[in-house]
């Protein structure tokens, strides 16, 4: 049986070094006028050794090996690149030919055209970053992101993050719609000491025409864990704890649907 709980709000990670590294990275990218280049579903940067170090410390992207000896390249996901470009205002991104965006809105449209789920994924990514969490790809564990309190070289990640939305983002919402999916995900994450965190992105009627819509989006948090009767008795769990409710058709009901007391 799965147990779903409303979080008191995902706590801000107490990681002052992370803020310092991001500030140093921002200054370095602005001073050097570093430019990113669109490449399929990622963005590539040609950077120096100092910026490679700062990108690693601030936990953005990954280095890419090339045959060019006089250039060092770094690869960013769309979410990472747009965060640096739109939120931190420290990265300009170019394309090739007609695909070269001239402003934030055109860049937003391009990324959305390449990745339908980009608006909700970016909202979740920026939401976690603003809480000072280190956010990395969760593809290895079958989730959207994994998050760390500190640099991944220092600590293990605590949560595997799955993003759902209220819109027509079928690529997001078709996942984990049956209990077998929930069991598989929680068991996989549990085997590597992680908790499943579901972030439900509510668009509140806003469209996706520009990044300004992000201000209208809201994020709701839920953690899903396996429920153990023995552990519950030992910990004397409150009878008012919230549990996931199974609706007709074996479809799990998340935070945006009804929650009932056990």
Selecting among 11, 71, 89, 156, the annotated active-site residue is 156
The first and second tokens of residue 214, run together, are 């992000």
Convert the chain into a string of H (helix), E (strand) and C (coil). Answer: CEEEEECCCCCCCCCHHHHHHHHHHHHHHHHHCCEEEEECCEEEEEECHHHHHHHHHHCCCEEECCCCCCCEEEEEEHHHHHHHHHHCCCCEEECCHHHCCCCHHHHHHHHHHHCCCHHHHHHHHHHHHHCCCEEEECHHHCCCEEEECCCCCCCCCCEEEEEEECCCCHHHHCCCCCHHHHHHHHHHHHHCCCEEEEEEEECCCCCCCCHHHHHHCEEEEEEEEECCHHHHHHHCCCCCCEECEEECCCEEECCCCCCEEC
Catalytic residue check, 109: no
Tokens 């920026």, residue? 126
| Catalytic one of 21, 83, 148, 217 | 148
Tell me which residue of 70, 68, 57 sits closest to 25, measured CA to CA: 57
Phi, psi of 226 (to 5 degrees): -75, 135
Q: Strand 62-64 and strand 72-77: pairing?
A: antiparallel
Q: Is 151 a catalytic residue?
A: no
Q: How many CB atoms lie within 10 A of CB 262?
A: 13
**Encoded tokens for 225:** 């864990």
Instruction: Choose the catalytic residue: 3, 44, 123, 194.
Output: 194
State yes or no: is 194 an active-site residue: yes
Active site residues per annotation = 148, 156, 194
């Amino acid at each position: 049986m799965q147990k779903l709980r409303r979080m008191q709000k995902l706590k801000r990670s107490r990681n002052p070094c992370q803020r310092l590294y991001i500030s140093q990275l921002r200054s370095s990218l602005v001073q050097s006028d570093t430019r990113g280049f669109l490449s399929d579903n990622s963005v590539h940067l040609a950077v120096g050794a100092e910026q490679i170090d700062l990108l690693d410390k601030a936990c953005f992207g990954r280095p890419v090996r090339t045959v060019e000896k006089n250039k060092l390249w770094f690869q960013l996901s769309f979410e990472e690149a747009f965060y640096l470009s739109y939120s931190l205002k420290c990265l300009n991104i170019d394309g090739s030919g007609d695909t070269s965006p001239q402003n934030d809105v055109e860049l937003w449209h391009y990324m959305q055209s390449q990745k339908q789920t980009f608006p909700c994924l970016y909202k979740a990514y920026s939401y976690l970053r603003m809480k000072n969490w280190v956010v990395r790809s969760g593809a290895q564990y079958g989730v959207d992101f994994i998050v760390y309190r500190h640099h991944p070289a220092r600590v293990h990640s605590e949560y595997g993050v799955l993003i759902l939305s209220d819109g027509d983002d079928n690529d997001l919402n078709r996942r984990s719609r049956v209990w077998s999916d929930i069991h598989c995900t929680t068991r996989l994450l549990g085997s590597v000491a992680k908790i499943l965190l579901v972030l439900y992105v509510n668009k509140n009627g806003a469209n996706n025409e520009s990044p300004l819509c992000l201000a209208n989006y809201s994020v709701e948090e839920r953690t899903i864990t396996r429920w153990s009767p023995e552990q519950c008795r030992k910990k004397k769990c409150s009878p008012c704890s919230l549990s996931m409710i199974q609706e007709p058709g074996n479809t799990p009901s998340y935070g945006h649907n009804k929650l009932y007391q056990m």
